[in-house]
Structure 1
Amino acid sequence: MLNNFETAATPTVKRRLISMVYEAFLLLSVEMLATAAYMVVTGNRQEPVFQHGRNFVLFLVAAAYFVHFWTDSGHTLAMKTWRIKLVQPGYARVPFRIAAIRYLLSWGWFLPALMVCYVAGLHDKGQIAIAIGIGIVAWAMTAFLDKDRQFLHDKLAGTRLVSMPKRDAAGAAPR
């Protein structure tokens, strides 16, 4: 099934990055709630196994957050605010499998930098922040390698981000 988003404009890289900053704040609140629940369940134990367990739970909570919204409406609250929608050409909605693959691939924003920090033995928060910042800029630059300005994880997952039309004062999309 074809949808009308296959030819829709791609949001600017700047708009997508600003949306990601907003998304980070929203996700932080969800992750804080998950952390609080994990601390209650584990009695706030700090042994390494519990710390790894917490990280795994946070990974799963973020996956559930993104995959749910991408497969349901095609956008999270931040994406909706910035009028950005995730689509997969040929589908009315993004399939669960594709949304899950996109979530895993989107770790390309952070995982290479975190691996470099681990291999280099970096523990200073400033050094880690710089490494992650460089990783984010490098991943964002992948949009400029694509003719449609899609990020690498979207290209690999077969998805794309498209601009949604502005709504009028009554909330209706223009014709």
Structure 2
Amino acid sequence: MPRQLDQTGTQQASLAKRFAALIYDLLVLIGLLFCVSALWIVFNNGEAVSGPFYNTSLFLTIFLFNAYFWTRSGQTIGMMAWRLRVQTVDGYTLNWTQSLIRFFSSLFSIACFGAGYWTMLLNDERLTWHDRFSDTRVVVLPKRDTKKQPK
């Protein structure tokens, strides 16, 4: 069940921060995909692996990585590092259907030479195609006050 997220001090995320979080997540995903591939190789007696089942497992790994974090806290590991969060327009965590729509529409955004991302520079709402299609927003979270308060 989606849960309401704190909206205090949030603002729309910039394209640069989104790309930075995406690159960070790609690095984590590469490591995860290496682990999945290693499992396939172990079960294939040390031989190279290819084929539709292997490719599907890699694709599902990428989707489940993103959807798990989006539905749990709204933040992937890269988004945590850059203080970004994806949420519904009303400020809730995404459900699995929204995650699926967001995932596939973000692939479409990238496949069109990034046009789905670049359009955020042309509209006042600063929304990408996948933001619009899934009724979600990526916001920047305020910095936490790490200074200790005197007692």
Q: TM-score, normalised by structure 1?
A: 0.73
Change (3 A) 1:85 1:157: same
**In the TM superposition, what is the alpha-carbon distance from 1:162 to its structure 2 partner?**
0.5
Aligned positions of 1:55-74 closer than 5 A: 55-74=55-74
Q: Spell out, residue by residue over 1:78-134, the C-alpha distance to the aligned partner (whole angstroms, 9 max, x if none).
A: 10110000000235321111112111111124445xxxxxxxxxxxxxxxxxxxxxx
Where 1:103 maps in the other structure, the secondary structure is helix
Q: Aligned residues, how many?
A: 147
- Per the alignment, residue 39 of structure 2 pairs with 37
Give the 4+ runs in structure 1 shifted more than 4 A: 1-4, 44-47
**In the TM superposition, what is the alpha-carbon distance from 1:22 to its structure 2 partner?**
1.0
The letter for the 2-side match of 1:165 is: P
Aligned positions of 1:52-131 closer than 5 A: 52-90=52-90, 92-112=92-112
Q: Give me the whole-angstrom Cα distance separating, in 1, the residues matched to 2:35 and 2:93.
A: 29
Q: Give me the whole-angstrom Cα distance separating, in 2, the residues matched to 1:15 and 1:160.
A: 14
Where 1:85 maps in the other structure, the secondary structure is strand
Q: Spell out, residue by residue over 1:50-94, the C-alpha distance to the aligned partner (whole angstroms, 9 max, x if none).
A: 333222111100111000000000001110110000000235321
**In the TM superposition, what is the alpha-carbon distance from 1:2 to its structure 2 partner?**
6.9
Q: Give me the whole-angstrom Cα distance separating, in 1, the residues matched to 2:119 and 2:48.
A: 38
Change (3 A) 1:96 1:110: same
**In the TM superposition, what is the alpha-carbon distance from 1:8 to its structure 2 partner?**
3.3
Report if aligned partners of 1:70, 1:76 keep a CA contact under 8 Å in 2: yes
The letter for the 1-side match of 2:26 is: A
Q: Give me the whole-angstrom Cα distance separating, in 1, the residues matched to 2:42 and 2:102.
A: 31
Q: Spell out, residue by residue over 1:24-56, the C-alpha distance to the aligned partner (whole angstroms, 9 max, x if none).
A: 101111111111112222345557xx3332221
Report if aligned partners of 1:22, 1:78 keep a CA contact under 8 Å in 2: yes
* Percent of residue pairs bearing the same amino acid type: 23
Q: Structure 1 residue 157 and structure 2 residue 144: aligned? A: no
The letter for the 2-side match of 1:21 is: I
